[in-house]
């Protein structure tokens, strides 16, 4: 079998249907299987897959195990020589999976291949980025990457100066479409389940690269990524989870002083926003509810990043 396509779903029934249809329509001559891992959806996603896509292998979890753990479940039963981790809020265009596999076959030293990602209106959605570091977090926290997007220094983490229009080696391929060589997975291992959501693809790419594999991007295959379909359902929790995941990566792969510096940067980034939104809540009655919600989220995030999770403690010990 060529490719095992693993799709993790959580309450995304309608867009999951569109994703599955696009995969089937654009698979071309591929020998493939589709594995859907559902993280305890309550929106009839499981029943829809069983009813409309009986050829799909379905794993229905009784609880939300997170993105990394669910993908690992899919990889445990996958039979393809490649594994494609595909978000449920994507639409495959113009045989993108076929084109990516052809590129992967021509690049045997690459563990992970990423493709060009578009928004729903077909504008470019910037993907691929650098590993988190104290410097990159400083440039993010100060918004210098937004003030000087053409600067290769200020925009380094998100590669804001790059039009995603050529083939190149990158640090991290975005997790909405990760085409991964089975041989590399067998050498390096599966995703770290210490990352519940966000950061798992960064950690995985880092481990592949440390083991001598390449992470490559090719602009010819194209997909649409709607973005954040599951995370929007719990936007505040996911905002906090994103900050924690970045710190988890720093704690795992960098020095302890770097982790402390990164932690301070995140706290500063959050703390500076609290007085601003408190002022907005006082001056704009119409926005009072939203402003107070933001203040509560920032305060909760500060508490969360100041207390390492159990997985982070295990990583250090």
Pick from 224, 229, 270: nearest CA to 247: 270
| pLDDT-above-90 percentage for the chain | 73
pLDDT of residue 29: 94
pLDDT tens profile 59-109: 999 999 989 999 999 999 999 999 999 999 999 999 999 999 999 999 999
Query: Do residues 84 and 19 lie in contact, with contact meaning Cβ atoms separated by under 8 Å?
Result: no
| Residue 267 scores a pLDDT above 80 | yes
Domain range summary for the chain, segments of one domain joined by +: 3-128+164-227, 232-308
| Residue 317 scores a pLDDT above 60 | no
Residue 174 in tokens: 């975005």
Tokens 């936007």, located at residue? 235
Continuous segment of H or E residues that includes residue 220: strand 214-225
Query: Do residues 17 and 43 lie in contact, with contact meaning Cβ atoms separated by under 8 Å?
Result: no
Instruction: Write down the pTM of the prediction.
Output: 0.89
Is residue 140 very low, low, confident or very high in pLDDT (cuts 50, 70, 90)?
confident
Tokens 């076959």, located at residue? 105
Distance (Å, whole) CA 158 – CA 150: 11
Distance (Å, whole) CA 16 – CA 259: 37
Residue 306 in tokens: 């100041």
Q: Name the phi and psi angles at 53, rounded to 5.
A: -135, 65
Is residue 269 very low, low, confident or very high in pLDDT (cuts 50, 70, 90)?
confident
pLDDT tens profile 156-181: 999 999 999 999 999 999 999 999 99
Residue 122 DSSP one-character state:
S
Residue 167 in tokens: 């083939």
Domain 3-128+164-227: which topology?
Spore Coat Polysaccharide Biosynthesis Protein SpsA; Chain A (3.90.550)
């Amino acid at each position: 079998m060529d490719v095992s396509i693993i799709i993790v779903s959580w309450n995304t029934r309608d867009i999951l249907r569109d994703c599955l249809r696009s995969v089937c329509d654009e698979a071309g001559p591929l020998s493939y299987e589709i594995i859907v891992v559902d993280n305890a959806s309550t929106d009839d996603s499981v029943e829809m897959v069983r009813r409309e896509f009986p050829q799909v292998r379905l794993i229905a979890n009784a609880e939300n195990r997170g993105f990394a753990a669910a993908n690992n479940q899919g990889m445990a039963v996958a039979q393809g020589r490649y594994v494609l981790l595909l978000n449920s809020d994507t639409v495959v265009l113009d045989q993108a999976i076929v084109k990516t596999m052809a590129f992967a076959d021509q690049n045997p030293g690459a563990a992970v291949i990423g493709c060009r990602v578009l928004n729903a209106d077909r504008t470019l959605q910037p993907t691929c980025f650098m590993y988190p570091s104290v410097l990159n977090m400083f440039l993010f926290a100060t918004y210098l990457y937004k003030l000087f997007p053409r600067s290769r220094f200020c925009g380094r983490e998100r590669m804001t100066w790059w039009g995603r229009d050529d083939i190149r080696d990158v640090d991290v391929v975005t997790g909405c479409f990760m085409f991964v060589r089975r041989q590399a997975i067998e050498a390096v291992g599966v995703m770290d389940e210490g990352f519940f959501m966000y950061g798992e693809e960064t950690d995985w790419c880092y481990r592949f690269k440390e083991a001598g594999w390449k992470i490559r991007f090719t602009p010819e295959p194209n997909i649409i990524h709607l973005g954040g379909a599951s995370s929007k359902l719990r936007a505040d929790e996911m905002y906090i989870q994103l900050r924690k995941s970045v710190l988890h990566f720093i704690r795992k792969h960098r020095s302890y002083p770097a982790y402390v510096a990164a932690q301070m940067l995140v706290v500063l980034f959050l703390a500076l926003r609290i007085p601003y939104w408190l002022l907005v809540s006082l001056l704009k009655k119409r926005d009072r509810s939203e402003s107070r919600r933001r203040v509560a989220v920032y305060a909760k995030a500060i508490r969360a990043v100041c207390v390492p999770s159990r997985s982070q403690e295990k990583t250090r010990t």
